[in-house]
Amino acid sequence: MVQLNNSNATIKLSTGALIPQLGLGTWRSTDEEAYNAVLHALKAGYRHIDSAAIYKNEGPVGKAIRDSGIPREDIFVTTKLWGTQHRDPKFALELSLKRLGLDYVDLYLIHWPVAFKADGFTTDEQFLSIPENPDGTRALDWNQEDPEAGWNFKKTWELVQDLPTTGLTKAVGVSNFSVNNLKALEAAGLKTPSVNQVELHPLLPQNELIKYTKEKGIVIEAYSPLGSQDSPLFTNKTLKVIADSYGVSNAQVLINWALKRGYVVLPKSVNPARVEENFKVFGLKQEDFDKVTNLVNEVGEKRLIVPNWSPFPTFE
Ligand code: A2P
């Protein structure tokens, strides 16, 4: 058994703000689960909560933050812009803040570089949906033949990049952006996002993206760092041998591997014991770190979260 400590590391964003390196993910959590998980996480020492409008649990997430009794300024809160509101991100952020019951968030991200058609939408139910065409395909607000003519993520970012001036969010960034999509923002002369949140675990190590974002001062955040629901990594034998040698779980090895790689890590759990377990850091030896890094060569690369935004080339 190794010495386990609560995580207290932070990373500096391009704004100068400090972001706690380990945060709680809240995707696929029901209202009750989200409320209890966030409250429990904050009691256990977490100071970073990652949410999104489309998770449809901003209400209970915000209530747990408010009920925790922890000063608002001591908690780093993120939420995300859904595709139905790319043409008016300020309004979308105002709605998110209303649901959260907060005056501001610390970070607001474009959730995906994909906008949806949302003509005439006015209700939460409409905004927090994935609109479809009559033939069942996704109703993208994007002109495939001439992306410059239609709406596109560069236009969304042009609006989002200035949101910190409203005071509604302290920093802004993107999520699920590829190197090419980040380069497109730069080529358009737009501001550099503070953050890019992406799927990131040993089977999808994102080395090229990490190298690029490091050069540009963009902080990477890892979602699904455990390999998501029913993760193949929970039963991986190489990981299990490493985990057993420290007396920890596979999940803890995965989180500590990610922390050692130097980016923000956002494991999701609604189970109180696992929420606590995931917050513990220990010294992962270089040789074990290298074995985890090498897993992708043993098992093969695997992207686990692949929503159908066809024909938009999300990951190229
Ligand atoms: P649960 O919420 O019931 O704990 P990811 O963060 O990669 O998306 O992974 C989330 C998944 O991993 C969820 O299904 C979550 O279930 C599960 N999980 C989270 N922490 C642990 C842990 N320490 N051990 C095993 N499973 C975990």
**Digit-coded pLDDT (tens) for 223-232:** 999 999 999 9
The pLDDT tens digits for 6-59 are 999 999 999 999 999 999 999 999 999 999 999 999 999 999 999 999 999 999
Secondary structure class of 71 (helix, strand, coil): coil
The pLDDT tens digits for 247-306 are 999 999 999 999 999 999 999 999 999 999 999 999 999 999 999 999 999 999 999 999
Atom 14 (ligand 1): residue with closest C-alpha?
229
Give the integer Cα–Cα distance in Å for 132 and 214. 37
Which value, to the nearest 10 degrees, does the dihedral of the CA atoms of residues 208, 80, 54, 155 take?
A: -80
Percent of the chain scoring above 70 in pLDDT = 100
Q: Give the Å distance between the CA of 178 and the centre of ligand 1.
A: 25
Atom 19 (ligand 1): residue with closest C-alpha?
269
What average pLDDT does this structure show over 203-220?
98
Q: Is the pLDDT of residue 120 over 90?
A: yes
Which tokens belong to 261? 């790689």
Residue-level pLDDT at 16: 98
Q: Which residues lie across from 115 on neighbouring strands?
A: none
Residue-level pLDDT at 316: 74
Cis amide linkage into residue 311, ω under 30° from 0: yes
Give the nearest ligand 1 atom to 278 CA: 23
Which residue matches tokens 């006015």? 122
pTM score over 0.75: yes
Q: Give the Å distance between the CA of 271 and the centre of ligand 1.
A: 8
DSSP characters over 175-223: ES--HHHHHHHHHTTPPPPSEEEEE-BTTB--HHHHHHHHHHTPEEEEE
Residues 195 and 107: beta-carbon distance below 8 Å: yes
Give the integer Cα–Cα distance in Å for 286 and 98. 45
Which residue matches tokens 């190794």? 2
Instruction: Write the single-letter amino acid at 301.
Output: E
Residue-level pLDDT at 83: 98
Secondary structure class of 138 (helix, strand, coil): strand
Residue-level pLDDT at 191: 98
Strands 10-12 and 18-20 come out as: antiparallel
